[in-house]
Structures are given as structure tokens and as C-alpha cells.
């Protein structure tokens, strides 16, 4: 009898575990999307520097029949019965070994109107919606509108000055300025980053921050630190700085301000830390359920550098340990542990620049952008996909796609 291994979530943790396990049991991967998403390049998808097939390959292409793929939204995990139920389906997935890699969801931290009116940025659809919102704002500008009115009509606020907020805001600003030039519009767009802390990318070092701040400046992004968002409506954002509140009309608010646990994890009656993360043993097993492995954004792994928490690079590294340990578990062998290290940082900063931190040294500019593309080619799943994407980027280029009027957008 082959052990039944069910992997929940097809992100960095789940997909890579399933790929490493292929051929070592009856493996089922469950995800609510039909594709993997290489999130670090979602900004390039927004700008058209990369296409959906580059960064969001379909599971059926990646798994090539070696792992069964079930598309569905997981409704619950029954620990006692060792089964998983799906929304709108009577099928129960029974497991001998379970892998939980369900990732996080956007955390609006209870800000009034934030969930209803701001745009999340975690999926392909989110990037499509944001691009459409930018195009619509540009399309609304009448040729004779005064520059100050133009600026108000094309104001976008990005909440959160972490890596995501900085990467997104520089990308949006470059795209919008380029569109102003192409469409010969008067005035300029306005892109703001709103950050509660006293500096951008708070968890990162000063070397890379210097490059990021320089890029924000070059892309003409306004940075508001020590500023808290208190309310979002359909066309206005309210924020507070040094006790003073200000309302700003906007064309869109994008929320990159935080991540929280998937509701499915909240429901599980197992050991969690204060943030609600599943506490895993150094082998990635849950201590009360040794046949359950958890990894990625939903797991608290004590032996990893704290700066790695909530990153793709941690989930990706954990996947190989999970797969190795699941094989050992099924064969009754001793399980392994691993200390996870920083693999370096790479950030996209606008359509022409990036920042890369490797071996303790940071560098920026167009060279860093090339290095980032090269680095990420090597991190994509499967050799076959890497080769196709690498060839496409090399031969067809990675130029951004301008924001064209809605009827001309593809
Ligand atoms: C825009 C963006 C940019 C990022 N950039 C970087 C970066 O540059 N470097 C870095 O290290 N990290 C980056 N991250 C963080 C990184 O994406 C996460 O840390 C990583 O994806 C975590 O992997 P995971 O497997 O835990 O979860 P995920 O990759 O989020 O995968 C979770 C999977 O579970 C599925 N799922 C969730 N709920 C259900 C359900 N109920 N039913 C069925 N399926 C479900 C999801 O569809 C998804 O396939 C970025 C994140 C975002 C959003």
C-alpha cells in the first residue's frame, strides 16, 4: 500500500514539497487556484515586464501527472478522521500524511473601510484589477483639465512601506509617469506610500534601504512615515500624522500593510504561538500529530533567522526538508532538522531598476534588475519551466507594457 499524502496549498511550501515527493507515494495537491504564483514577480506582471505564463504556470503543466491535482477550496481539516473536506463537494480526501502550506491572507488590521474599498495585492487577479484601475483613472482625464485636478484624479495610495509597498509604488509611479508622457497629459500623477513606522523596509538593513530610498525618490513616490491610516472609502483615504488627520481624494488605495493566518488555521485545535502560527518541531511536524507537517507562512519554525519569517525563501527551503522527512517518516527512518539561512534579498524598484543584496553587499540600478531576473529564473519550479521562461526573457526581452487606453489593453 502506498501512503496517501495530501498537500494543502500549492504555493512555495506546498508545490515544491509535492514536486520533491513525486513518485514516493499517492500524492494529492489541493489548491483553490489552477496555477502556482511566483509572488516576488507579481510587480513585473502588473507592469507587463513578464507574462502570466512566466510566473503563474498551471499545476497540470508542472506536475505532469506525477502528482494528482485537485482544484478546490478547502473547507475544513478533520484531525480525528484524518480527512480534508472541500467547499461544494462531497468528496473527502483521506490522508496518512498531511502537509499544510496554506499561506496567509491580507490583514486589514480592522481599519474602517479598508477591506471593502482598498485593493489587495497577492494574486494575479489583484494585479489585473489594479492595472485596470490605473488605466481607468488615466482614461478619465480630459485633455483640458488643470494640472492640480489631474493630480487629484490620478492619486494612488499604497498602505505599508515594507518591501511590497516600496516595490509596488515605484512600479506604479514609473508606469503612470510613462503614461502621462505617452498621452501628453498636463501635470503629473501622485503615488504615496503610507507607513506607520519611522522608516521604509523596517526589517531590512541600511545598505539596501539607501538604494530603496533613492529609487523611491527617482520614481517620485511620496513617502509618509509615522503615519497611520484610519479610514478608507470609495474615493478617499484618511490618515493621521502627529495627531493630525488628513483626508485625501484618491483613485485607488492598495493594501500591502500586513498578512494574517488563513481562517482554516485559526480553526485548527493544535499548538500555536501568539501570532496564531502553527508551532512545528525542528522536523516540521506538529508535536501532537506527527503525521502532519506544516511549512511556510503559517508555521513557526524556531530554528530560522527571524528575518526569514513570512518569506518565499523560507517556504522554498522548508519544502525540501518536509519532503525528505516525509519519505523518512513513511520508511520508519530517523527524521532530519535544518537551520535555514538568508539567501539574500532582491527587490524590484520601478521598471528600470532593482536592488540585490548578496554576500553582505547590496547593489542597485539596471544591473541589479538583470541579476534579479537571472536569479529568479533559477528559482522557478521545474527545469522545463525554467528553460522556457529563461529563453523567453532572453530572446523576447522584458520591457514593460505601457498603460494603454482600456480598449487597447490586452
Ligand atoms: C506580492 C508579494 C510579493 C512577495 N515577494 C516576496 C519576495 O520578493 N521574497 C520573498 O521571500 N517572499 C515574498 N513574498 C512572500 C511569499 O510570497 C510568501 O512568504 C510565500 O508565498 C509563502 O509560501 P506558502 O507556501 O506558505 O504560502 P503561499 O505561497 O501563499 O501558498 C498558499 C497556497 O494555498 C492556497 N490556499 C490558501 N487557502 C486555501 C484554501 N482555503 N483552499 C485551497 N487552497 C488554498 C493558495 O491559493 C496558495 O496556492 C511576497 C508575497 C507577496 C504577496
What tens digit of pLDDT does each residue of 233-275 get? 999 999 999 999 999 999 999 999 889 988 899 999 999 999 8
CB 11 within 8 A of CB 36: yes
How many angstroms does the Cα of residue 39 sit away from the middle of ligand 1?
Answer: 7
pLDDT, tens only, 54-104: 999 999 999 988 899 999 999 999 999 999 999 999 989 999 999 999 999
Report the relative pairing of strands 83-86 and 74-78 from DSSP bridges.
antiparallel
Q: What average pLDDT does range 365-388 have in this prediction? A: 96
Q: How far is CA 190 from CA 152, 176, 366, in A?
A: 8, 9, 24
Given the CA of residue 123, which atom of ligand 1 is nearest to it?
Answer: 53
Select from 267, 268, 269, 299 the least CA-distant residue to 283: 299
- Residue 304 banded pLDDT, cuts 50, 70, 90: confident
The three cell numbers of residue 112 are 474602517
Q: What is the pLDDT of residue 218?
A: 97
Question: Which of 39, 308, 348 maximizes ligand 1 atoms within 8 Å of its Cβ, making it the mutation to test the pocket?
Answer: 39
CA dist 168 and 166 (Å) reads 6
Between vectors from CA 65 to CA 59 and to CA 68, what angle results, nearest 5°?
70
Any ligand 1 atom below 6 A from CB of 35: no
The three cell numbers of residue 12 are 512555495
Count of C-beta atoms within a 10 Å radius of residue 182: 12
Count of C-beta atoms within a 10 Å radius of residue 54: 22
- Residue 344 banded pLDDT, cuts 50, 70, 90: confident
Select from 276, 326, 267, 327 the least CA-distant residue to 297: 276
Mean pLDDT of the chain: 95
CB 3 within 8 A of CB 96: yes
Report the relative pairing of strands 353-358 and 345-349 from DSSP bridges.
antiparallel
Specify the range with the lowest mean pLDDT, choosing from 188-197, 231-240, 304-313: 304-313
CA dist 161 and 171 (Å) reads 14
Long-range contact pairs involving 77-81 (C-beta distance under 8 Å, separation at least 24):
77/8, 77/264, 77/267, 77/268, 79/268, 79/269, 79/270, 79/289, 79/292
Any ligand 1 atom below 6 A from CB of 101: yes
The three cell numbers of residue 374 are 537571472
Any ligand 1 atom below 6 A from CB of 32: yes
Any ligand 1 atom below 6 A from CB of 87: no
Specify the range with the lowest mean pLDDT, choosing from 27-41, 184-198, 208-222, 300-314: 300-314
**363 pLDDT exceeds 90?**
yes
Any ligand 1 atom below 6 A from CB of 189: no
Given the CA of residue 31, which atom of ligand 1 is nearest to it?
Answer: 44
Any ligand 1 atom below 6 A from CB of 48: no
Radius of gyration for the chain, computed over Cα atoms and rounded to the nearest angstrom: 22
- Residue 410 banded pLDDT, cuts 50, 70, 90: confident
Between vectors from CA 93 to CA 90 and to CA 94, what angle results, nearest 5°?
130
Count of C-beta atoms within a 10 Å radius of residue 245: 11
How many angstroms does the Cα of residue 379 sit away from the middle of ligand 1?
Answer: 15
Count of C-beta atoms within a 10 Å radius of residue 388: 16
CB 123 within 8 A of CB 45: no
Q: What is the pLDDT of residue 59?
A: 97
Given the CA of residue 10, which atom of ligand 1 is nearest to it?
Answer: 49
**343 pLDDT exceeds 90?**
no
The three cell numbers of residue 375 are 536569479
CB 307 within 8 A of CB 203: yes
**323 pLDDT exceeds 90?**
yes
Question: Which of 7, 12, 50, 165 maximizes ligand 1 atoms within 8 Å of its Cβ, making it the mutation to test the pocket?
Answer: 12
Phi, psi of 195, deg, nearest 5: -130, 130
Name the closest-CA residue to atom 19, ligand 1. Answer: 311
CA dist 93 and 31 (Å) reads 13
Any ligand 1 atom below 6 A from CB of 42: yes
Phi/psi region, residue 220 (left: phi>0; alpha: psi -120 to 50; beta: rest), is left
Amino acid at each position: 500500500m502506498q501512503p496517501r499524502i495530501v498537500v494543502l496549498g500549492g504555493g512555495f511550501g506546498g508545490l515544491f514539497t509535492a514536486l520533491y515527493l513525486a513518485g514516493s507515494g499517492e500524492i494529492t495537491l489541493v489548491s483553490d487556484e489552477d496555477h502556482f504564483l511566483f509572488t516576488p514577480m507579481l510587480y513585473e506582471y502588473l507592469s507587463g515586464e513578464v507574462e502570466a505564463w512566466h510566473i503563474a504556470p498551471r499545476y497540470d503543466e508542472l506536475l505532469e501527472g506525477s502528482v494528482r491535482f485537485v482544484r478546490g477550496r478547502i473547507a475544513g481539516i478533520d484531525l480525528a478522521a484524518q480527512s480534508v473536506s472541500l467547499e461544494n463537494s462531497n468528496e473527502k480526501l483521506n490522508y496518512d500524511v498531511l502537509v499544510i502550506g496554506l499561506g496567509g491572507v491580507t490583514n486589514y488590521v480592522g481599519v474602517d473601510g479598508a477591506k471593502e474599498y482598498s485593493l489587495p495585492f497577492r494574486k494575479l487577479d489583484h494585479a489585473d484589477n489594479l492595472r485596470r484601475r490605473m488605466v481607468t483613472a488615466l482614461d478619465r482625464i480630459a485633455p483640458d483639465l488643470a494640472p492640480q485636478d489631474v493630480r487629484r484624479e490620478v492619486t494612488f495610495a499604497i498602505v505599508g512601506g515594507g518591501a511590497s509597498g516600496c516595490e509596488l509604488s515605484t512600479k506604479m509611479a514609473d508606469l503612470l509617469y510613462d503614461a502621462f508622457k505617452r498621452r501628453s497629459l498636463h501635470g503629473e500623477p501622485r503615488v504615496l506610500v503610507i507607513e506607520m513606522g519611522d522608516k521604509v523596509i523596517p526589517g531590512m538593513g541600511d545598505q539596501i534601504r539607501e538604494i530603496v530610498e533613492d529609487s523611491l525618490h527617482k520614481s517620485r513616490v511620496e513617502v509618509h512615515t509615522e503615519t497611520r491610516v484610519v479610514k478608507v472609502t470609495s474615493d478617499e483615504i484618511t490618515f493621521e500624522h502627529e495627531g493630525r488627520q488628513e483626508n485625501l481624494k484618491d483613485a485607488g488605495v492598495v493594501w500591502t500593510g500586513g498578512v494574517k493566518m488563513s481562517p482554516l488555521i485559526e480553526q485548527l485545535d493544535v499548538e500555536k504561538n501568539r501570532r496564531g502560527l502553527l508551532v512545528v518541531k525542528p522536523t516540521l511536524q506538529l508535536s501532537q500529530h506527527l503525521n502532519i507537517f506544516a511549512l511556510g507562512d503559517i508555521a513557526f519554525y524556531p530554528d530560522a533567522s527571524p528575518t526569514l519569517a513570512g518569506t518565499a525563501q523560507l517556504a522554498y527551503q522548508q519544502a525540501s526538508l518536509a519532503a525528505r522527512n516525509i519519505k523518512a517518516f513513511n520508511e520508519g527512518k530517523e527524521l532530519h532538522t535544518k537551520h535555514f539561512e538568508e539567501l539574500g534579498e532582491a527587490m524590484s524598484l520601478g521598471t528600470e531598476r532593482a536592488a540585490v543584496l548578496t554576500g553582505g553587499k547590496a547593489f542597485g540600478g539596471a544591473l541589479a534588475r538583470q541579476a534579479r531576473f537571472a536569479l529568479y529564473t533559477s528559482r522557478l519550479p521545474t527545469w522545463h519551466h525554467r528553460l522556457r521562461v529563461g529563453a523567453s526573457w532572453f530572446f523576447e526581452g522584458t520591457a514593460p507594457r505601457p498603460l494603454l487606453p482600456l480598449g487597447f489593453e490586452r
